[in-house]
Amino acid sequence: MVEAFETSGARRQGDFCTERGVKLAVFRQWLYRIRRERRAAGVKPTARFVELVARSGAGGGTVRFEQGGAVVTFTEVPPPGYLAELFRLMDR
């Protein structure tokens, strides 16, 4: 179930669990346990992608974010939720 979640592209654990009739608390317990075990074993997490959509901005400047050696540049500041999800995935 954890692997299905990680490869599903689902953004929210709650939605994923509701669709499958699984209790969120139980799912999270296993999700965190499995992820801890993977980290302890040195297993890299499954890669996921966040779509970047370019929009033309009124200003001529750019916004640059750096995390873990990766650099992402935007022509305007994206919504906070989008950045949070992007950084969460980059931090894996």
Provide the residue-wise pLDDT of the chain in tens; the chain has 92 residues.
Answer: 988 888 787 778 999 999 999 999 999 999 999 989 988 998 876 656 666 665 555 555 787 877 667 788 888 878 878 877 887 777 66
Domain count, the chain: 2
Task: Quote the domain boundaries for residue 89.
Answer: 49-92
61 and 80 in a single domain? The answer is yes
92 and 54 in a single domain? The answer is yes
92 and 55 in a single domain? The answer is yes
Q: What is the pTM of this model?
A: 0.48
pLDDT at position 65: 77
> What are the b/e assignments for 34-65, b being 16+ CB within 10 Å?
eeeeeeeeeeeeeeeeeeeeeeeeeeeeeeee
57 and 90 in a single domain? The answer is yes
54 and 34 in a single domain? The answer is no
